[in-house]
Amino acid sequence: MSAAIEAREVSVRAGDVTILDTVTFRMEAGELVALLGPNGAGKTTLLRCLAGLRTPTSGEVRVVARPLSRISRGELARVLAYVPQVTVPAPGFRARDLVLLGRHARMGWLGVPGEPDLAVVTAAMEMTGTAALADRLLGELSAGELQRVAIARALAQQPAIVLLDEPTSHLDLRQQLRIGEMLRRVAHDWPLAVLAVMHDPNLAARFADRVLVLHHGRRVADGPASAALTPERLREVYGVEAEVQRGAEGESPIVVVRGLTSHDGHDGSPGEAPPRHSTGASTRP
């Protein structure tokens, strides 16, 4: 099966600084992949490369089996949706108005939505649990509600791929779970290739089909949470001592952080600095 989206040895450099170092991975429709890693690992940079918002220094991104560099912006908007960390409420905009913006790339040259467009907007809002918010002003919505509306806008594009940059940041525990459940349902039921940057390994383990871990710009793990999230890797990547509790068959592992490693140098404290290139083996070919 051809990948919905893939990175082939993607590197990004800014002067003498390497932000991404030969990252390779692929996603197929029906997958929710969580992208983990500490601050500065290159997660957002990778997401922006995949979305066509940043050009890699070397390597290639392919979308639906075609080089991203050969796909026009209009065509890309019909197959890929990008949800940034923050959606700024526009004055006077209602939730339905924002979701309808997702139809822009598919509407006719007059830009007037027809019945099919309105039906897609309704379906997207129902999938994200935002139908009851349709007439609410964006400025009146909570952070969790606004995030779900932003995801509904992405779904209204009818893409094959959805990329989300920290969709659960600044949300309470209930809203984090709602977003996680919704993303898994969207990936499996529509089906779509969904890649979401996350910080909580337990949220990733609970909902994602795969966990992709970046460290110093390199891919150090790519596979099921049970293989990608080990005490050794959490120590290497985050500089923490953690216990990974294995549940019954079919249950996701639970990460319990016990404390910081001693003299790890991860936070600038005294100690040996971590290596620039990880030697951790990938869990996925």
Q: Count up the domains in the chain and report the number.
A: 1
Position 90 scores a pLDDT of 81
The range of the structural domain enclosing residue 92 comes to: 87-158
Q: Report if residue 65 sits inside a domain.
A: no
Q: What is the pLDDT of residues 143-197, one digit of tens each?
A: 999 999 999 999 999 999 999 999 998 899 999 999 999 999 999 999 999 999 9
Mean pLDDT value of segment 241-254:
87
118-145 pLDDT tens trace: 999 999 999 999 999 999 999 999 999 9
Tell me what the mean pLDDT of segment 88-94 comes to.
86
- 3-state SS assignment for residue 186: helix
Given this model, what pLDDT does residue 284 score? Answer: 36
Give dist(CA 77, CA 51) in Å, integer: 10
Q: Residue 205: what pLDDT?
A: 97
Quick count: other Cβ atoms within 10 Å of Cβ 26?
18
Beta-sheet pairing, 210-215 with 218-223: antiparallel
**Statement: residue 240 has pLDDT above 80:** yes
Assess if residue 73 is contained within a domain: no
The yes-or-no verdict on residue 280 having pLDDT over 70 is no
Is 282 within the bounds of a domain?
A: no
In this structure, is residue 181 part of a structural domain? no
For residues 52-68, b (16+ Cβ closer than 10 Å) or e, as one string?
A: bebebeebebbbbeeeb
pLDDT at 232 over 50: yes
285: cis peptide before it, omega within 30°? no
Examine residue 164 and state whether it is found in any structural domain, yes or no: no
Count other Cβ atoms within 10 Å, centred on residue 108: 9
**Could you tell me what percent of the chain has a pLDDT over 90?**
81
What global pTM score does this model have? 0.89
Per-residue pLDDT band for 266 (boundaries 50, 70, 90) equals: low
Residue 76 lies inside a defined structural domain of this protein: no
- Which residue type occupies 238? Y
Burial of 191 (0-12, 13-18, 19+ CB in 10 A): middle
* pLDDT band at 82; cut points 50, 70, 90: very high
